[in-house]
């Protein structure tokens, strides 16, 4: 995973990108043995599929997961779930990086996370709503907006630009007929055709991600729930 996700996980500024995933390696499944070294015997399972033991995973995947866990303080469950299929793990995160961490275009990191929250809500994906709601809070420094969008995006405190962006993303998410009018509305709010591609690709990729999370019953990490709700360095009021 790239530095962008680590920034969200760590509640801090930029980090250098992680080493790219290697192209080789196999997996020998080891059922009911958790990736983490912590005692997870009483914890709710990450999902329906077994998480392999570290010793049975390809080296490049273990190295990546350990780096994320070390820098973030915890390992997002999507890493554990996807390592069940190493080739798909690599492809999944490579495409995630391509669309979420590109340096061009007019979408901010907060914009991208808001698209994921809105479309994942429609697709009824708790993992993505909760995890990317946390990332949106961190990038936007708006602790309530993602929650508002989750409940009813049309009543959320969104700018006209954000409304136009989410309308297009949700049209793609729901497989509406996309017309020139959709693109023209985006253009009136400062988005060009390449930005429309970015919005559509994020919506499309996370439609896939939402459905993967659904059938494998992927559970959000507890750490995500409070991320970005309290200023970094301050303790929650009791």
DSSP 141-206: --TTHHHHHHHHGGGS---HHHHHHHHHHHHHHTTPPP-HHHHHHHHHTT--HHHHHHHHHHHHHH
CB-CB contact of 205 with 96 (8 Å)? yes
Same structural domain, 74 and 115 = no
Three-class SS state of 34: coil
SS (HEC) of 36-60: CCCCCCCCCCCCCCCCCCHHHCCHH
Same structural domain, 64 and 147 = no
Whether 230 maps to a domain, the answer reads no
* pLDDT, position 152: 97
Whether 233 maps to a domain, the answer reads no
> How open is the CA angle 8-11-17, to the nearest 5 degrees?
50
DSSP 75-125: --HHHHHHTTSHHHHHHHHHHHHHHHS-S-SS--HHHHHHHHHHHHHHTT-
**What's the average model confidence in pLDDT over 151-155?**
97
**What's the average model confidence in pLDDT over 46-64?**
93
Same structural domain, 113 and 176 = yes
Categorize the per-residue pLDDT at 220 as very low, low, confident or very high, splitting at 50, 70 and 90.
Answer: very high
Residue 57 region by backbone torsions, left for phi larger than 0, else alpha for psi between -120 and 50, else beta? beta
* pLDDT, position 230: 75
**What's the average model confidence in pLDDT over 226-232?**
81
Is the confidence at residue 45, as pLDDT, over 60?
yes
Q: How many CA atoms lie within 13 A of 131 on its CB side?
A: 23
**What's the average model confidence in pLDDT over 51-74?**
93
Among residues 100, 129, 160, the one where a domain terminates is 100
Categorize the per-residue pLDDT at 6 as very low, low, confident or very high, splitting at 50, 70 and 90.
Answer: low
Q: What's the CATH number where 115 sits?
A: 1.20.1290.10
Q: How far is 225 from 135, CA to CA, in rounded Å?
A: 10
Whether 237 maps to a domain, the answer reads no
Mean pLDDT of the chain: 85
Same structural domain, 78 and 154 = no
Is the confidence at residue 68, as pLDDT, over 50?
yes
Q: How far is 77 from 140, CA to CA, in rounded Å?
A: 23
Three-class SS state of 32: coil
Is the confidence at residue 5, as pLDDT, over 80?
no
Categorize the per-residue pLDDT at 231 as very low, low, confident or very high, splitting at 50, 70 and 90.
Answer: low
Same structural domain, 44 and 91 = yes
pLDDT top residue among 15 and 94: 94
Q: What's the CATH number where 22 sits?
A: 1.20.5.810
Same structural domain, 212 and 153 = yes
Is the confidence at residue 129, as pLDDT, over 50?
yes
**What's the average model confidence in pLDDT over 51-63?**
93
Among residues 69, 100, 131, the one where a domain terminates is 100
| Environment class of 146 (CB within 10 Å of its CB; exposed 0-12, middle 13-18, buried 19+) | buried
- Sign of dihedral through CA atoms 37, 214, 22, 199? negative
Range of the domain at 127: 109-225
Output the pTM of the full model: 0.82
pLDDT top residue among 164 and 40: 164
* pLDDT, position 23: 31
Number of domains in the chain: 2
* pLDDT, position 8: 57
Whether 152 maps to a domain, the answer reads yes
Same structural domain, 137 and 91 = no
pLDDT top residue among 71 and 7: 71
Q: How far is 191 from 6, CA to CA, in rounded Å?
A: 27
* pLDDT, position 1: 45
* pLDDT, position 115: 98
Is the confidence at residue 136, as pLDDT, over 50?
yes
């Amino acid at each position: 995973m790239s530095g962008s996700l680590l920034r969200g996980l760590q509640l801090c500024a930029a980090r250098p990108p992680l080493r790219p995933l290697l192209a080789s390696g196999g997996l020998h499944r080891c059922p009911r043995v958790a990736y983490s070294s912590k005692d997870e015997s009483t914890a709710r399972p990450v999902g329906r599929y077994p998480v392999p033991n570290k010793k049975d995973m390809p080296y490049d995947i273990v190295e990546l997961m350990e780096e994320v866990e070390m820098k973030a303080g915890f390992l997002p469950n999507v890493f554990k779930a996807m390592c069940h299929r190493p080739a798909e793990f690599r492809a999944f995160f490579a495409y995630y990086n391509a669309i979420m961490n590109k340096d061009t275009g007019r979408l901010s990191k907060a914009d991208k996370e808001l698209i994921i929250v809105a479309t994942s809500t429609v697709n009824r994906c708790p993992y993505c709503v909760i995890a990317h709601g946390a990332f949106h809070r961190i990038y936007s420094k708006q602790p309530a907006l993602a929650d508002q969008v989750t409940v009813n995006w049309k009543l959320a405190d969104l700018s006209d630009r954000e409304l136009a962006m989410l309308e297009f993303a949700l049209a793609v998410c729901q497989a509406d007929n996309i017309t020139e009018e959709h693109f023209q509305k985006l253009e009136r709010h400062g988005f060009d055709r390449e930005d429309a591609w970015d919005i559509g690709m994020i919506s499309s990729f996370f439609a896939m991600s939402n459905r993967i999370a659904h059938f494998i019953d992927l559970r959000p990490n507890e750490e995500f729930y409070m991320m970005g709700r309290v200023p970094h360095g301050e303790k929650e009021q009791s």
